[in-house]
Amino acid sequence: MLNMSFFIKELKEIIKTKKLVIMVSLFIFFAILSPLTARYINEILASLGQGVSITLPEPTLIDSWGQYFKNLSSICLIVYLIVMTGSVSHEKSKGSILLVMTKRVSRFNFLFSKLLSGILLFTVCYIISFVISGFYTNILFGSYTYDGLWISLLLMWFMGVFFTSLANFASVISKSPTISAIYGFVGLALITILNVIPKFSKFSPAGGAMLVTQIMLGIISQNDSIINLAFATLGTILLFAITYFIFRKQEI
């Protein structure tokens, strides 16, 4: 059962360390930038062309959401992953984890609270960002939705949840925030490389971004995404179980 007092302490820690402010600001920045970039890309290219005519097709709301999901799955999630990899290793390095363990907080509660607070942080940032991006997309393109938008948003959310579990794993197997950030980035790089394999993204817990692109292009149906959602859920649970098994055996 979740230890609510420790979970609330984790939420306060996120606010105290300004993780919430940093991540929300980053997500909002790209939520605004994405539709603006999609709408004025031709003008931007024309200003940089220096006499060379470069003209792309008239941008649509698909381009706006495509830019949003691209920025979310690359820059935003990479920064989020690196920030969250210090959740456990930071407490190890400063020794505060010993104090926590003496206050009747089990190792499971400790780790699960870290995971849940991270998921909540990502969810808040994500909701704020896609609402803002949808608002600007509607203003610039006269509409904000397309067939498959909601399943696309769900795929990206599950991808963020899996990355939270990956960050926890990297943090547990490391003794310092720097090393855990490196491990997290290496894990992300390996998953990204594997996603290049044809049809692998459907079964990859972090393959949501590629499937979203295929949905927007009409290459796959929304039903094909159910498999990915199942594997993302299974991957998150399995990775958390492995992380907990390692954490339970560690000497603090």
Q: For residue 211, what are its two tokens?
A: 């499937």
Residue 12 lies in a domain: no
Residue 4 lies in a domain: no
First vs last C-alpha separation in the chain: 22
AA identity, residue 105: V
Whether 10 maps to a domain, the answer reads: no
| pLDDT for the residue 53 | 60
pLDDT-flagged residues of the chain (< 70)? 1, 49-56
CB-based contact 129:217 (threshold 8 Å): no
Domain region containing 195: 24-249
Q: Is residue 18 domain-resident?
A: no
Answer whether residue 1 is part of any domain: no
Residue 217 lies in a domain: yes
CA distances (Å), origin 209, targets 10, 151, 194, 214: 29, 12, 13, 9
149, part of any domain: yes
Q: Is residue 120 part of a domain?
A: yes
What number of CA atoms fall less than 13 Å from residue 61's CA on the CB side? Answer: 17
How many domains would you assign to the chain?
Answer: 1
What is the tens place of the pLDDT at every residue in 144-163? Answer: 999 889 999 999 999 999 99
Give the span between the Cα atoms of 23 and 215, in whole angstroms: 27
pLDDT for position 13: 87
Please give the Cα distance from 101 to 244 (Å, whole number).
15
The pTM score is: 0.92
**Cα 144 to Cα 19, 62, 92, 136, 181, distances in angstroms:** 29, 9, 45, 8, 36
